[in-house]
């Protein structure tokens, strides 16, 4: 076998091993967390409705969980989209995020979607937009307040909810984006944690600073898995795979973009995307807050026993209490 072919296979195997390692770590962490008695939703008066279908067809990827908090409706709402490089993890690994928001009085919709590379762009975003349409039709039946709906996600999930914010605010040519806009539900706030907001040109990260080879290969596999085989010739091309680039064009939206809280750690390899997001929002005149946490890694806020992880959650809830319409004042003090 030729050396270059051997090198290619070795690189592919290295990327797959990296993905399996990341998936195993987060699934293990999720499983350990679930075993802790304090992780039981019923201790906080939270009712969990699992595996509700938001698209027809019966696919497991087209389900969501609802975490309904105690208290009196109408509730502020969180539409949560998990991360995992578009290729791993699930709503099941991200139960902690849903529980954290529900404990603060939010009605949480924790969304599953199809994963790459078997389902490249725009499959995940098609699903998220379909779930958004389902939410627009159903959220009041669950006691949700349509005036206080928050989009939230981390890493790849931050990419997807940022693209959804654009789709719901701007008429676009993609059929799935048009459906999200026509649903008529406007997000009241956006939380983008540790976002990979431009999937193309992953090499930009190593042009700025040196990264370990294994880490760069993992990042490259995310881009390849999401974009390889994507329908670039369709309406809108691949634009919404890179919502940061759309925002950086500084085209005013038809509907007001929601206030944004974006954060990352200084040791996060995709930190630059969060900084660029803040600059783009400033040029558009969108209310936003960008918070950079010294020394923290990618998705550090999932490690809730760490001091700065807890601080990031406090600042998230403070931002939402300040940004959501009246009726959300209890969010800052609820436990």
User: Angle at the Cα of 125 (from 28 to 216), degrees rounded to 5?
Assistant: 55
User: Angle at the Cα of 100 (from 104 to 302), degrees rounded to 5?
Assistant: 150
Which pLDDT score is estimated for 139? 97
Question: What domain count does the chain have?
Answer: 1
| β-bridge partners, 67 | 48, 108
Quick: pLDDT tens for 205-241. 999 889 999 999 999 999 999 999 887 888 999 999 9
Domain that residue 171 falls in: 3-332
Quick one: pLDDT band at residue 34, thresholds 50, 70, 90?
A: low
Closest CA to 222 of 175, 157, 288: 157
Residue 292 near residue 315, CB atoms below 8 Å: no
**CATH number of the domain bearing residue 85:** 3.40.50.1820
Average pLDDT over residues 143-156: 98
Question: Read out DSSP for 42-79?
Answer: GGGT-EEEEEEESSTT--GGGEEEEEEPSS-SSEEEEE
Q: Work out the mean pLDDT of the chain and round it to a whole number.
A: 90
Which pLDDT score is estimated for 3? 44
* Torsions phi, psi for 63 (to 5 deg): -125, 160
Residue 258 near residue 190, CB atoms below 8 Å: yes
Quick one: pLDDT band at residue 328, thresholds 50, 70, 90?
A: very low
Positions of E strands within the chain: 47-53, 63-68, 75-81, 107-111, 144-154, 189-193, 260-265, 288-293
| β-bridge partners, 262 | 192, 290
Which pLDDT score is estimated for 229? 84
Which pLDDT score is estimated for 38? 65
Quick: pLDDT tens for 247-296. 999 988 999 999 999 999 999 999 999 999 999 999 999 999 999 999 99
**Rounded to two decimals, what is the model's pTM?**
0.89
User: CA distances (Å), 239 to each of 185, 187, 190, 245, in order?
Assistant: 22, 21, 20, 8
């Amino acid at each position: 076998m030729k050396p270059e072919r051997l090198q290619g296979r070795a690189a592919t195997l290295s990327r797959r091993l990296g993905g399996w390692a990341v998936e195993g770590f987060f699934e293990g962490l999720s499983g350990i967390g679930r075993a802790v008695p304090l992780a039981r939703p019923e201790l906080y008066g939270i009712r969990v409705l699992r595996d509700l279908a938001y698209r027809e067809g019966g696919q497991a990827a087209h389900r969501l969980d609802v975490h309904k908090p105690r208290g009196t409706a109408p509730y502020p709402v969180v539409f949560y989209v998990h991360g995992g490089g578009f290729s791993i993890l699930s709503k099941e690994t991200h139960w902690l995020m849903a529980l954290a928001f529900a404990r603060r009085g939010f009605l949480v919709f924790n969304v599953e979607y199809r994963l790459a590379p078997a389902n490249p762009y725009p499959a995940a975003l098609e699903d998220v937009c379909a779930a958004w349409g389902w939410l627009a039709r159903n959220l009041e039946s669950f006691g949700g307040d349509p005036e206080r709906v928050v989009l939230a996600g981390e890493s790849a999930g931050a990419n997807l909810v940022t693209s959804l914010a654009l789709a719901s605010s701007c008429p676009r040519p993609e059929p799935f984006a048009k459906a999200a806009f026509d649903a008529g539900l406007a997000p009241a706030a956006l939380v983008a944690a540790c976002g990979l907001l431009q999937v193309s040109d992953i090499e930009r990260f190593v042009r700025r600073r040196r990264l370990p080879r294994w880490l760069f290969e993992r990042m490259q596999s995310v881009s390849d898995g999401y974009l390889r085989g994507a329908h670039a010739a369709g309406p809108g091309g691949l634009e919404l795979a890179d919502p940061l680039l759309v925002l950086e064009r500084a085209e005013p939206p038809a509907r007001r973009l929601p206030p944004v809280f974006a954060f990352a750690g200084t040791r996060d390899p995709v930190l630059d995307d969060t900084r660029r997001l803040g600059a783009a929002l400033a040029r558009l005149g969108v209310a936003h807050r960008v918070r950079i946490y010294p020394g923290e890694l990618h998705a550090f806020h999932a490690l809730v026993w760490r001091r700065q992880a807890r601080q990031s959650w406090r600042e998230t809830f403070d931002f939402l209490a300040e940004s959501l319409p009246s009726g959300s004042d209890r969010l800052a003090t609820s436990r």
